[in-house]
């Protein structure tokens, strides 16, 4: 069985609206395929500007614009269809996911603006209000200001944030700064795409459900503080293109190969079982197809593992490339911030062949 949607109606028993059934895709799995967005971006002729310190050239998570010698702005935007039916939790998850791009580059969120699409003519305003309340909770938790936003009427709900943060231009963290010998550390387990699909179909245990929602709702702020204090230069957050897709972005931008130790990659409870039961979103299939040409997979690694490494994540953790002599400091800082840091690989010299090596 292969499943990306289920035969359920938009209303649960009792008339409650099921947000996930109002849309075709859920969460970051709704992103345009990596190869397609690359084609689109290549068609744009963006003029060089010395104020732009980081941005689209290396597929960075946000753009950084210098304001003064010691101050720059970090700007990003992110929104997606519902991953859960609870509107308040949907708002929290979407906001945490949007704020993550600022954290991935070492910035501090300053302000956020809502982006909301909702069929209020059909379902009223109460659900939308709950979504916005959930988003506000995470904006305030991040220490940022909610500064308005924009809404439109749309049959398929979507919600997210445009976020502006601040950063010291001398301490920017990008995808292009990984060095040979750097150790790769992941701060959240994988499996959100698989588990969200299973949950949407009503086939997920309560324990797995709460672990999934708790992970997606958690801000990457503590992990960001730890890597900034350690002096990390390279990181990204793991979202719609999966661990493999985002690791490939780092490898290309930094001119290195990446070796992933599959046994060290943490998974959310129930991920493997859900995948083996056929739950795998279309976005994850697209990720797997996109990275296939760049993969070198050891014969001991099973196909199920590779598939989960390509799973489209929603509000995933940070993938941090840290110099080996700063690894212990980073792990200690993460631990002091109550973040689990998992060593999952290393950066190698670039080869003439594949860019990602899974052992």
Q: What share of the chain is helix, strand, coil (3-state, %, to 5)?
A: 40, 25, 35
Give Cα separations from 53 to 98, 229, 297, 320 (angstroms). 20, 21, 35, 20
Find out whether 161 and 77 touch, Cβ atoms under 8 Å: yes
3-state secondary structure of 311: coil
Marked catalytic residue, from 6, 23, 25, 28:
28
Dihedral angle computed from the Cα positions of residues 18, 24, 26 and 29, in that order, rounded to the nearest 10 degrees: 170
- As a whole number of angstroms, the longest Cα–Cα distance in the chain is 60
Q: Which residues of 123-148 are buried (b: 16+ CB within 10 A; e: fewer)?
A: beeebbebbbebbbbbbebbebebee
Cα 269 from Cα 189, distance rounded (Å): 9
Residues in the chain: 359
Catalytic, 28? Answer yes
- In the structure encoding, which two tokens stand for residue 284, read together? 């994850």
Residues designated catalytic: 28
């Amino acid at each position: 069985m292969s499943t990306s949607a289920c035969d359920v109606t938009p209303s649960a028993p009792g008339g409650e609206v099921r947000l996930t059934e109002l849309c075709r895709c859920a969460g970051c799995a709704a992103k345009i395929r990596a190869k397609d967005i690359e084609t689109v971006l290549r068609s744009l002729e963006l003029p060089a500007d010395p104020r732009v310190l980081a941005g689209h050239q290396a597929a960075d998570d946000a753009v950084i614009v210098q304001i003064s010698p010691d101050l720059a702005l970090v700007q990003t935007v992110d929104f997606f269809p519902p991953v859960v039916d609870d509107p308040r939790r949907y708002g929290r998850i979407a906001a945490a996911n949007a704020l993550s791009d600022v954290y991935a580059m070492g910035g501090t969120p300053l302000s956020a603006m809502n982006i909301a699409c909702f069929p209020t003519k059909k379902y009223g305003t109460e659900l939308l209000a709950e979504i916005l309340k959930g988003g506000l909770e995470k904006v305030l938790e991040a220490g940022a200001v909610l500064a308005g936003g924009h809404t439109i009427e749309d049959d398929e709900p979507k919600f997210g944030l445009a976020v502006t943060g601040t950063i010291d231009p001398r301490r920017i963290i990008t995808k292009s700064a990984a060095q040979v010998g750097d150790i790769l550390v992941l701060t959240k387990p994988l499996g959100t795409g698989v588990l969200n699909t299973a949950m949407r179909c009503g086939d997920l245990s309560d324990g797995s459900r709460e672990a999934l929602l708790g992970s997606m709702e958690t801000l990457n702020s503590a992990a960001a503080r730890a890597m900034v204090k350690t002096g990390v230069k390279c990181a990204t957050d793991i979202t719609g293109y999966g661990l493999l897709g985002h690791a490939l972005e780092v490898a290309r931008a930094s001119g290195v190969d990446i070796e992933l130790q599959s046994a060290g990659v943490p998974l959310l409870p129930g991920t493997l079982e859900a995948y083996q039961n056929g739950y795998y979103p279309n976005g994850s299939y697209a990720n797997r197809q996109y990275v296939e040409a760049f993969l070198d997979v050891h014969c001991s690694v099973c196909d199920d593992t590779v598939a989960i490494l390509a799973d489209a994540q929603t509000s995933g953790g940070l993938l941090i490339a840290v110099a080996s002599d700063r690894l212990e400091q980073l792990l200690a800082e993460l631990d002091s911030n109550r973040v689990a840091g998992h060593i999952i690989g290393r950066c190698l010299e670039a080869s003439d062949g594949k860019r990602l090596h899974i052992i």
